[in-house]
Amino acid sequence: MDILTLNCGSSSLKYQLYRWDSREVLARGIVERVTVGGSFIDHYAKGRGKTKIEHECPNHKVALKLILDTLLDSDIGAIKSLDEIKAVGHRMVHGGEKFAKSVIIDNEALKTFKELSDLAPLHNPPNIMGYEAAGDVLPDVPHCAIMDTAWHQTMPPRAFIYALPYSWYEKFGVRRYGFHGTSFLYVAKRAAVLLGMEPFKTNLILLHVGNGASANAVRNGISVDTSMGLTPLEGLVMGTRAGDHDPAIAYFIMEKEGITPKEVETMLNKKSGVFGITEKYTDRRDIEIAAERGDKRAQLCIDIEAYRLKKYIGSYYAALGRVDAIVFTAGVGEMAPMLREKVLAGLEELGIRIDLRKNSISKTRDAETVISANDSPVKVFVIPTDEELVMTEDTYALLKGTYDVHTNFTYSFQSTDYVNSERAEALNKKLKEKPELKEVLARIP
């Protein structure tokens, strides 16, 4: 059985084709610059390598057709017929309070996702567009929705209710929802494996640090607090999002600059974060290079981002009382040793002791690594996330009628024997170039 997963953004469409029977990725890639011009697809197929094709995609339906045509291509594709695709899993960012787990999309579910678009105006509309485009092209297979918010539905009211008029919650659903749930689910389950603990006995602080970034407090294996709120704007410093700030700033700037609420919202979501501080960069690699060259604003940016992360670790440690491990994941979390070092420096009194050499070595998306000192009471892991695998497993289980909330469901990657064959193959090649990586592997694949 082949399962296609789609992650549709406002100007992109990410995909993966997974063969369930052999547990392998057949193909994956992304179509970039959808609707904005200069579109192209970056495509990988097992045994056929990588390909980049320029192709204008004025909308997501054209982008999906490009993906399917590429998958069917006799030279660079992965399947001979669309009939081989038996189900499609869709990332749906916001499920509100209506969904505590993944669902098969029907008319009622689609109606709910559209109603929730007010809560996620930057995310749910493109997610819905991706579903509708796929539904038109693949109308005879089940389509499933995997929600970013579902993982956080275990948060207690004290964590998700804001100190605002309660009627706003009752009338409009104003509360903390949290995001990155699919990523957090994966790394939480993997952290339990690496700790050798039962998943529902682990206390964790999870840090998903990419262009979007959020923190998650996990008590006894379930989410009890997270940094993103009603929308993904709250919390950590991000690529272009402000994260935590005084809400009155928006009104102050509207008055001073004479701009509209919509313009302020755009500034907070698309012109702030590390881009707002540097006024040049969103890519942390560029910021690191600039900082090394003496760019004061870049240096300040790194300090601010690390300080915000450190504060969340401290607050979640206090909320949990006991922490078994801290986990870094996502593009920046997995690939930025300097930022991780700054975040963890000075936390020794909390039992968090980083090994500087291990941390400097750990810079890979192909292996789970441990960067804490051997005598550190709190372990520190770097775990490459795999949201697509969660989406695939949820979709398969929904089709088979075996799916349930994660507290009643076991994923394949919770096994101590689990190996991501694609990553293991890439790691073996990398170890030949960088043998010191073996020093930091959390487990040998």
Number of domains in the chain: 2
Mean pLDDT for the chain?
93
Are both 122 and 187 inside the same structural domain?
Answer: no
| Regions of the chain where pLDDT drops below 70 | 10, 444-445
Q: What is the pLDDT of residue 120?
A: 73
Are both 131 and 7 inside the same structural domain?
Answer: yes
In a domain, 430, yes or no: no
Q: What is the pLDDT of residue 282?
A: 85
Q: What is the pLDDT of residue 297?
A: 96
Q: What is the pLDDT of residue 127?
A: 85
Q: What is the pLDDT of residue 359?
A: 98
Are both 117 and 254 inside the same structural domain?
Answer: no
Are both 326 and 206 inside the same structural domain?
Answer: yes
Are both 136 and 186 inside the same structural domain?
Answer: no
In a domain, 174, yes or no: no
Q: Would you say the C-alpha torsion 149, 152, 157, 163 has a positive or negative sign?
A: negative
Are both 379 and 248 inside the same structural domain?
Answer: yes
Q: What is the pLDDT of residue 396?
A: 96
Q: What is the pLDDT of residue 342?
A: 97
In a domain, 9, yes or no: yes
Q: What is the pLDDT of residue 95?
A: 85
Query: Which of the listed residues 343, 361, 383 is the one where a domain comes to its end?
Result: 383
Global confidence as pTM: 0.94
Are both 15 and 139 inside the same structural domain?
Answer: yes
Residues 192-229 pLDDT 10s = 999 999 999 999 999 999 989 999 999 999 999 999 99
Are both 124 and 205 inside the same structural domain?
Answer: no
End-to-end CA distance of the chain: 25
Are both 113 and 218 inside the same structural domain?
Answer: no
Are both 86 and 221 inside the same structural domain?
Answer: no
Residue of 21, 73, 106, 148 marked catalytic = 148
83 is catalytic: no
Q: Which domain holds residue 264?
A: 181-383
Q: What is the CATH number of the domain that holds 239?
A: 3.30.420.40
Are both 211 and 118 inside the same structural domain?
Answer: no
Are both 325 and 378 inside the same structural domain?
Answer: yes
Q: What is the pLDDT of residue 445?
A: 52
